[in-house]
Amino acid sequence: MLAFANAKINLGLNITEKRNDGFHNLETVFYPVKLYDVIELIDAHQTTCIIKGIEVPGKSDDNICLKAFKTLQRDFNLPNQQIILLKNIPVGAGLGGGSADAAFLIKLVNDKFNLELSVAEMQNYARVLGADCAFFIANKPVYAFGKGDQFEKLTIDLSKYFMVLVKPSVHVSTAQAYQNVKVQKPAKSVKELIQLPLKDWKNHIFNDFEGSVFVQFPEIDEIKTQLYTAGATFALMSGSGSSVFAIFEKEVKLPELEKDNLVFYNV
């Protein structure tokens, strides 16, 4: 059985407070985009994970898909499976690729073995694997808060626009992104601001990680500037970086950005 695990972008991201458990509370809007990894499950004598495509740091034995499967296997006594992951979503890009893979693996297992888990039950399994992992179970636009694992439904549709995603060669770790980030509650929640007309987002919707990340990686800041110069209505770094997305009113091509970066059109 196959599953196609899509990426996400963050339409705004505010780091609102430091928690006692060492994590941070945040608020953001998760929005799914059309950039996919492929996951396959095959019956096997032992459970393994094979990764193809983009190189994923670390050992395949530590892959989040394998962790997701073994978590379910302990509770449901599942037969061994070979997990094949074709990696297309850039790593260290703020696109939630690893979280998406784990969530779609959970859904794939649920379907293949008729576990009849509800959306809420699958989200609970996903939450222990990563803060944004549970989003990909329902996989619809949401206002996210807490650690990024609590959701409220949102009605937002950007399908009439042309979206471009730019991934530079640099990798931004979560630890790097949190260096010197300013923790503060915004005057207005992104949940409210996202209802503004798209043309007004540029002046009202921000990503708190940009201030920290742009100092360390000015080339990401330059990408954002180039996207606005090319006519983007709105551009923002996604998550903790390093990718930047832009929303255009009409189709564009960006050959200058393609020289040194991965550029994905119409995501």
10-residue stretch averages of pLDDT, the chain, 267 residues long: 97 91 89 98 95 86 91 95 96 94 98 97 95 95 93 95 96 81 88 97 96 93 98 96 96 96 97
Domain harbouring 52, CATH code? 3.30.230.10
For residues 141 and 239, membership in a common domain is answered with: no
Q: From the candidates 101, 132, 149, 208, give the one annotated as an active-site residue.
A: 132
Q: Please tell me which residue in 8, 87, 107, 167 is annotated as part of the active site.
A: 8
Residues 105 and 126 both lie in one domain: yes
Of 153, 180, 208, which closes a domain? 153
Residues 32 and 133 in one domain: yes
Instruction: Give how far Cα 197 sits from Cα of 115, 192, 202, 206, 246, Å.
Output: 43, 11, 10, 15, 15
Q: Cis peptide before 240, with omega less than 30 degrees from 0?
A: no
Q: Does residue 84 sit in the same domain as residue 139?
A: yes
State whether 93 and 187 are in the same domain: no
Has this prediction a pTM greater than 0.85? yes
Q: Considering 153, 185, 213, which residue would you say is the last residue of a domain?
A: 153
166 and 248 housed in the same domain: yes
Structure tokens at 241: 């970086």
Q: What pLDDT, in 10s, does the model give residues 186-208?
A: 889 999 999 999 999 999 999 99
Tally of domains in the chain? 2
Angle, CA of 46, 51 and 54, to the nearest 5°: 175
Per the annotation, the verdict on 200 as an active-site residue is no
Q: Supply the CATH number for residue 186's domain.
A: 3.30.70.890
pLDDT tens digit string along 177-187?
887 788 888 88
- End residue of a domain, out of 153, 183, 199: 153
In a shared domain, residues 118 and 242:
no
Residue 8 annotated as catalytic: yes
Residue 172: per-residue pLDDT: 84
